Amino acid sequence: MKPMNMPVPMERPPGTDLVQAVFQVCHDAVVFTDSAGRVQWCNRPFERLTGYRRAELIGGTLDRIYAEQEDFGVTHPLSGPRMISADHRIITNYLRRDGSLIEAETSGWSFLSTEGAILGHIRIFEDYTATNRLVRVKDKLFDAATDQATSPGEKVDAMISLACEFLHMPVGLVGLVRDSNLLVHKAKSTLAPIPIGTLFPLEESDCRIALAGDVPFETHSTEMAQKHPLLPDIGLRTYIGVPLVVGGERIGTLSFLNPLSRAGFTSAERQLISDFARFAAQQLAQERQIAALERAATQDWLTGAGSSRQFRHDIENVFRTVRRNDAQASLILIDVDHFKSINDAYGHDMGDRVLTNVARSLETVIGANRRLYRVGGEEFAVILPGSCADSAAIMAEQMRQRLAEAPDLASDMPSVTASFGVAELDPDITSQDAWVKCADIALYASKNNGRNQVTSNGSIAGVALPDELWREVQKKHAKTRKQSITI
């Protein structure tokens, strides 16, 4: 008894041998069906195209290769059996035996007897599957690149997902060079989590070879899986990677990994991976530019301390939080003593070095959880949420002592001291500007009393200060308000 749904053997119609003789050596896929649409013969390219053996097709219809298939998120309605006139060629969609999509340019005509009777139909298929998939993935890459609603980082994420899907690779990542390591900057993995920020040695992966090359580097292994630091429990058998170049500098690699072996990458796939790498490099360059602009707005270019703009933003937030929660906060202002004399005696280059060194010394005292701001030429500030004036004064004294320490004998740096003003955010202070003004008055009291000392607003309460000190404070704050309005 024969299995169900198997083609029924039948006598080959006239003309089949002639069709076979003519099209046997054709490089395109060819199939011959009788007048009822049953397959009588197909050549080897048709077998390779569809995944079916000739013996499986003979006597059956081509219905099995018509269906619907989703590719890159788009459902394609596939054509049903129909005749195509000899002067037409159309793109028709089919399914391989494994369920994957075939897109072929199809032409066909009827095969007639000498009496004009239809003996069968001939169809020729030219495979455009890879070409059309390539066009679609490039269109999607263009859409991702021109999407104004996404950041450069989001564009790279979308590119990696698109490339993994197109290449059938479960892992894709962007690694940036950090000394002798690569830092995982972006990653997609369906195998195991790969945390962003992970460092792994260049020497322990094929990325070291990809980084040095100019074209995609690939490896394939059909035997034991190679070890990889990001997939220690899985390993990999297929790798392809390409360098990321920004401004002539090789900053990292774009690579794709697979624990399974696969056929070598086609020239079109290798070219596409290079296109992906150029796209990723462009987005990374934009990320760098954006980060540089953000740093310029929030970080002082010389010392690395917070900028004056960031100081105004942060002190406003602290002021509001303290008032809302009935909490404490204090402010320390710092002014380098006789800085103009340092510039005059040693030059502005030395002055820049002194300011940088002052910032580093102050930061070692305040710790990593607090931020130092450069709020003027030689002026710095520290905001201390949760601190009273006494606690802030203790920290200010520690900073003063640190700066007053004699420089190393081998150093060409001049000795430096600084004056400090401390102001607690008292209940009667009505704004952040008034709070800064209180700290400024305390700072000017330190300078007026001989410099290289700490003064808090509590210690000068009720004390009559010289008129010239008040005028200096008023002049400075009028200038600060004007700058704040124009920025």
Question: Is there a contact between 412 and 347 (Cβ–Cβ < 8 Å)?
Answer: no
* Number of other CB atoms surrounding residue 305 within 10 Å: 25
Do 340 and 431 lie in one domain? The reply is: yes
Q: Output the pLDDT for position 65.
A: 85
Rounded mean pLDDT, 239-245:
95
Same domain, 324 and 433: yes
Instruction: Confirm whether 3 is domain-assigned.
Output: no
3-state secondary structure the chain: CCCCCCCCCCCCCCCHHHHHHHHCCCCCEEEEEECCCCEEEECHHHHHHHCCCHHHHCCCCHHHHCCEEEECCEEEECCCCCCCCCCCEEEEEEECCCCCEEEEEEEEEEEECCCCCEEEEEEEEEECHHHHHHHHHHHHHHHHHCCCCCCHHHHHHHHHHHHHHHHCCCEEEEEEEECCEEEEEEEEECCCCCCCCCEEEHHHCCHHHHHHCCCCEEEECCCCCECCCCCCCCCECEEEEEEEEECCEEEEEEEEEECCCCCCCCHHHHHHHHHHHHHHHHHHHHHHHHHHHHHHHHECCCCCCECHHHHHHHHHHHHHHHHHHCCCEEEEEEEECCHHHHHHHHCHHHHHHHHHHHHHHHHHHHCCCCCEEECCCCEEEEEEECCCHHHHHHHHHHHHHHHHCCCCCCCCCCCCCEEEEEEECCCCCCCHHHHHHHHHHHHHHHHHCCCCCEEECCCCCCCCCCHHHHHHHHHHHHHHHHHHHHC
Task: Check pLDDT > 70 for residue 35.
Answer: yes
Instruction: Specify the pLDDT at position 331.
Output: 97
Per-residue pLDDT at 88 = 58
* Residue corresponding to tokens 């607090």: 370
Average pLDDT for 449-459: 88
Answer yes or no: do 160 and 56 share one domain.
no
Q: Which of 297, 332, 358 is the last residue in one of the domains?
A: 297
> What pLDDT shows up at residue 409?
62
Distance CA 160, CA 139 (A): 15
Look at 82-91, 169-178, 425-434 and tell me which has the smallest mean pLDDT.
Answer: 82-91
Q: Residue range 275-287: average pLDDT? A: 93
Query: Residue 232 corresponds to which amino acid?
Result: P
Integer CA distances (angstroms), 197 to 210, 359, 381, in order: 20, 28, 32
Closest CA to 93 of 84, 85, 102: 102
Q: Residue 317 pLDDT > 60, yes or no? A: yes
Give the tens place of pLDDT for each residue, 195-217.
Answer: 999 999 999 889 999 999 999 99
Give pLDDT tens digits for 96-127.
999 888 888 888 888 887 788 888 889 999 99
Q: What percent of the chain has pLDDT over 90?
A: 60
Does residue 333 contact residue 420 with C-beta atoms inside 8 Å? Answer: yes
Tell me the CATH number at 446: 3.30.70.270
Q: What is the pLDDT of residue 71?
A: 45
Which pLDDT score, from 0 to 100, does residue 316 have? 96
Mind listing the pLDDT tens digit for each residue in 304-316?
999 999 999 999 9
Read off the pTM.
0.61
Output the pLDDT for position 464: 47
Q: Name the token pair of 451.
A: 């410099």
pLDDT score of 482:
46
pLDDT at res. 295: 81
Active site residue 378: yes
Residue 292 lies in a domain: yes
List 47, 103, 218, 378, catalytic entry? 378
The residue from 70, 98, 127 where one domain ends is 127
| Choice between 449 and 69, residue whose per-residue pLDDT is larger | 449
322 plus 303 within the same structural domain = yes
Pairing of strands 29-34, 89-95: unpaired
**Which pLDDT band, with edges at 50, 70 and 90, does 225 fall under?**
confident
Owner of token pair 């159309």: 90
Residue 122: beta bridge partners?
32, 109
Position 328 pLDDT exceeds 80: yes
d(CA 406, CA 280): 50
Alpha-carbon distances, residue 130 vs 101, 172, 398 (angstroms)? 10, 21, 69
Query: Which of residues 94, 127, 160 is at a domain's end?
Result: 127
Terminal Cα-to-Cα distance of the chain (whole angstroms): 90
Does residue 4 sit within a domain?
no
Q: What is the mean pLDDT of residues 235-240?
A: 90
152 in the same domain as 174: yes
Inform me whether the pLDDT recorded for 437 exceeds 80: yes
Percentage of the chain beyond pLDDT 70 is 85
Look at residue 9 and tell me if it is in a domain: no
- CATH code assigned at 214: 3.30.450.40
Residue 420 pLDDT greater than 90, yes or no: yes
Range of the domain at 102: 16-127
pLDDT of residue 246: 92
Q: Are 305 and 223 members of one domain?
A: no
pLDDT attached to residue 371: 95
Task: Read off the pLDDT of residues 438-448 as tens digits, 9 standing for 90 and up.
Answer: 999 999 999 99
Q: Are residues 114 and 164 in the same domain?
A: no
Whether residue 162 is contained in a domain is answered as yes
Smallest CA-to-CA distance from 421 within 395, 386, 385 is with: 395
State how far the alpha carbon of 462 is from the alpha carbons of 225, 457, 459, 472, in Å.
79, 10, 9, 19
Average pLDDT over residues 134-143: 90
Domain membership of residue 1 (yes or no) is: no
Same domain, yes or no: 114 and 149: no
| Mean pLDDT on 374-402 | 96
Residue 96: partners with Cβ closer than 8 Å, 6 or more residues away: 49, 50, 51, 65, 102
Statement to judge: residues 394 and 404 lie in one domain: yes
**pLDDT at residue 79, as a whole number:** 40
Mean pLDDT, the chain, integer? 86
Is-contact 373 380, C-beta < 8 A? Answer: yes
Q: Is residue 390 in a domain?
A: yes
Radius of gyration of the chain (CA): 37
Is 47:53 a contact under the CB 8 Å cutoff?
A: yes
- The one-letter amino acid at 24: Q
Average pLDDT over residues 6-18: 66
In a domain, 253, yes or no: yes
* Two tokens, residue 382: 């520290």
* Residues 172, 175, 178: CA angle, nearest 5 degrees: 165
173 and 258: one domain?
yes
> How far is Cα 475 from Cα 462, in angstroms, rounded to an integer?
22
Give residue 4's pLDDT band: very low, low, confident or very high (50, 70, 90): very low
Domain count, the chain: 3
Q: Are residues 115 and 140 in the same domain?
A: no
**Looking at the DSSP assignment, which residues form a beta bridge with residue 364?**
none
- Evaluate if residue 67 carries a pLDDT over 90: no
* Shared-domain flag, residues 289 and 305: no
- What pLDDT was estimated at residue 119? 85
Select from 278, 164, 165, 181 the least CA-distant residue to 173. Answer: 164
